[in-house]
Amino acid sequence: MVRYAEPGAVEWVESGGGPLIAVPETVLPFWTGADGEETDSDYDRACEVDGQVGLLPVGDSTALVLGDEPASTAYLPDHGAFVRWCAADSEDEVLARVPAALDAAEWQPEVSWHVSGPVLLFDAAWPGSASDRAPDRVRVALEPGRYAVRAAEVRPGPETWLSLVHLRRLADR
Tens of pLDDT, residue by residue over 78-109, are 999 999 998 888 889 999 999 999 999 999 99
In a domain, 60, yes or no: yes
Considering its fold, how many domains does the chain have in total?
1
In a domain, 1, yes or no: no
In a domain, 101, yes or no: yes
In a domain, 58, yes or no: yes
| Domain membership of residue 51 as a residue range | 20-169
What pLDDT, in 10s, does the model give residues 25-52? 999 999 999 886 666 889 999 999 988 9
In a domain, 149, yes or no: yes
In a domain, 9, yes or no: no
DSSP bridge pairs for 123? 20
In a domain, 14, yes or no: no
Mean pLDDT of 17-31: 93
Report the percentage of the chain scoring pLDDT > 90.
64
In a domain, 2, yes or no: no
